[in-house]
Each structure stands twice: as structure tokens, then as C-alpha cells.
Amino acid sequence: MPAWRASLRRAAPALGLFAAARLTGTLVLALWAWHVGRSPRALLAKSWDSDWYTRIAAHGYGRTLHWPDGGAQSDLAFFPLYPGLVRALTAVLPIAYGTAGLLLSWLAAGAAAWGIYLVTERVAGRPAAVVLVLLWGLLPHAVVLTMAYTEPLMTAFAAWSLYALLTRRWLLAGALAALAGLSRPNGVAVAAAVLVAVGVELWRRRGRAGWRPWAAAALAPAGWLSYVLWVGARRGDLLGGYFAVQDGWTSRFDFGRGALRFVRDMLKGPTQFGFVMALVITGVGVLLFALLVLVERPPLPLLVYTGVLVLITVGGSGFFESKPRFLLPAFPLLLPAALALTRARPRAAILVVAGLAGLSFGYGVYVLTLARMAL
């Protein structure tokens, strides 16, 4: 039996649970959307950033929104691989851009779940891998995995790149890291993991590791760097142009100062439930990272990848309500919880999973039909 088929067979229970979780969440959202007179497809395919991606797929780059306060939001903030693939799908299938975006995201979410299973199975064993994949599909903000967003695609490339690193397939790891870097700004975390793994390999072998690790190190940051430099060249500022575009979206890395100011102001008075949830989810993510580092101690590439994602999320300013989404690709954060559930009594584990499912499905409905904030 081919190795890929054997791994898919091992992952089948996890993939089945993941699919059941996301299909149930989508059904709950659809039923509520129909109840309030909204289109489930429009909510999933055209909400917030989804609309930007489908417009780029249809018309290319060049759209900028100007606001009365002088702000300017350019579509150059959005990395090109996802809209490029959406455009390619519409070229070969008779479907609309939004439908193509959903199809791509759903396929990518399945591929990501498979890669996550294999990474976790190698690190912590099969029971923990099954539970972790299920938990990933039941995160409060897991509705993003069924939307026309880039997180499923980036997570798929990240998970398989990390698996390639763990199995010492250097060229594959570097190529997938490059694709992750073309998918999202925080895809640079995958390149960081590859570079650190290559550095460790070269140090252990005193530089006599062959050409493949060197090639992986060259490939890994190429996707992210190429887009950042292309935007810089287009804006007339090679090194700073892309970051100026992000600044127009109020997104910048300031070591958490902007986020702390937002939390301070939020705690002074009434605020939206979504902001409170964003604070709670981000805080839980930081706690889980501490447990990952101090207790579980997974392989270094997973720590680097997760640490960079957490650093970008916590240290960045801008749309505070989007921080949980930025942590969605950081699946190793769930390793402590997955291991704890595998050791728990079945009744307790079932109650925890049921509670998470209720929160996930309800919060998905809230953020897409009731909340007055970006996702």
C-alpha cells in the first residue's frame, strides 16, 4: 500500500470527526441565516475579507478605499496565492468566484486536518492526533475554516511543511513554506521554522548536511519576501512599501502597545461580546503556548512556528477582534489540551467536547449574523 494511502487510512477517523464538526457548524449557521432572512452562501463567501479576495480574483489588484479621516485601505495588503487559485478554479469550472473560494477553502481545510493529524501523530501518538484535529474543528472561531478566507490554505501548507521537516524532506518543506508565505502575512512563521530546523541540522552535522537543507533555507522565505518586495516596488518604496500598506489598515507590529491600549479602553465601559471573546481566546492561546513550551516540549520546528504566530498576534496592533483568527493556524497550541483529554475519563472528555461544540456553533452564528465587527 502506498505510504500516502496508509497515512490517509490512519487519519480517517480524525478527518471524519473534523468533517462532522464543520458540517454541523455550517448547518447550524445556515438554519439561523435562513431564519433571519440571510443567505448562508453570501455570509460564507462574501463577508469581510472574503469580498476583498474574490474581487482580487475577478479584477486583479488596484482597489483602494479612502476614508474621511485620511485612511486608505489598499487590496495590496492581501497576499496573492489564494485569489490566484480562486481565479484558476473559475477558469476550469463553471462556478462563481465566491463558490470557487468556498470550494478551495473546504478542500484546504481537509488537507490541513490531514497534515495536522500526521504531525501530531508523530509527536504525541494517534489518540492525541485524533483529538487535536477534532479540537481544531471545534475552536470558537472555527467558522473561518468554512469561509472564503486564507487560513485553511495557509494552515494546510504549514502542517505539511512541518511534517516534511519532521521526516527530513528538506526540499518539500522549503517549497511548502514558500507557498505558505504567499498565502498570508503570518505565513512567514513557516519559513522561520524551516530556517531554524536547517540551522540546527547544519550545526549538528558541522555543515556537512548536503545541499538539500541549504536549498530549503533558500526556498522557505522566497514566497513571503517576493510579495513584500513586489508591493514595495509597486509603491516606490522597496523595503517599506508593503508595511505602509498595512499601516493604512492600522496593522503594525508595536510589541503589543496598541493591543494593550485597546484592552484598557475596552475594560473602561460596555463593549461588544466579540471583543471580550477575542481577549479571552488570545489569553488562552498565550497560556497554551506556555504549557506547550514548559510541559510538552515538542520538536523545535513546531515551537518556532507556533511562537512566531503567537508573537505576531500578541505584538500586532490593528483589528483586535481578528486576533483569534490569526491564531487559527497555530494548531500545536492545542497539544496540551488534546493530551489532557486523552488521559481524562470518557464522560468528562465527552462533556468538554460537547461544550466546545456548542460554543463553536453558537459563536460562528454570532460573528457572521449578529456581531457588528470585522472577523
Instruction: Please report, in tens digits, the pLDDT of each residue of the chain (375 residues total).
Output: 788 899 999 999 999 999 999 999 999 999 999 999 999 999 999 999 999 999 999 999 999 998 887 778 999 999 999 999 999 999 999 999 999 999 999 999 999 999 999 999 999 999 999 999 999 999 999 999 999 999 999 999 999 999 999 999 999 999 999 999 999 999 999 999 999 999 999 999 887 879 999 999 999 999 999 999 999 999 999 999 999 999 999 999 999 999 999 999 998 888 899 999 999 999 999 999 999 999 999 999 999 999 999 999 999 998 999 999 999 999 999 999 999 999 999 999 999 999 999 999 999 999 999 998 888
What distance in Å separates the CA atoms of residue 352 and residue 262, rounded to the nearest whole number?
Answer: 31
Distant-in-sequence, close-in-space partners of 220: CB < 8 Å, separation ≥ 6: 173, 174, 177, 178, 181, 190, 191, 194, 195, 198
Q: What is the pLDDT of residues 317-346, one digit of tens each?
A: 989 999 999 999 999 999 999 999 999 999
pTM: 0.97
| Burial of 119 from C-beta contacts in 10 A (0-12 / 13-18 / 19+) | buried
Please say whether the beta carbons of 307 and 315 come within 8 A.
no
Q: What is the pLDDT of residues 165-176, one digit of tens each?
A: 999 999 999 999
The residue type found at 225 is: L
Predicted local distance difference test score (pLDDT) of residue 372: 86
Nearest to 156 by CA among 177, 134, 132: 177
Strand partners, 66: 72
Count Cα neighbours of 368 within 13 Å in the Cβ-side half-sphere: 36
Predicted local distance difference test score (pLDDT) of residue 327: 98
Strand partners, 316: 253
Nearest to 232 by CA among 105, 77, 338: 77
**E strand or H helix that includes residue 72:** strand 72-74
Q: What is the pLDDT of residues 179-214, one digit of tens each?
A: 999 999 999 999 999 999 999 999 998 878 799 999
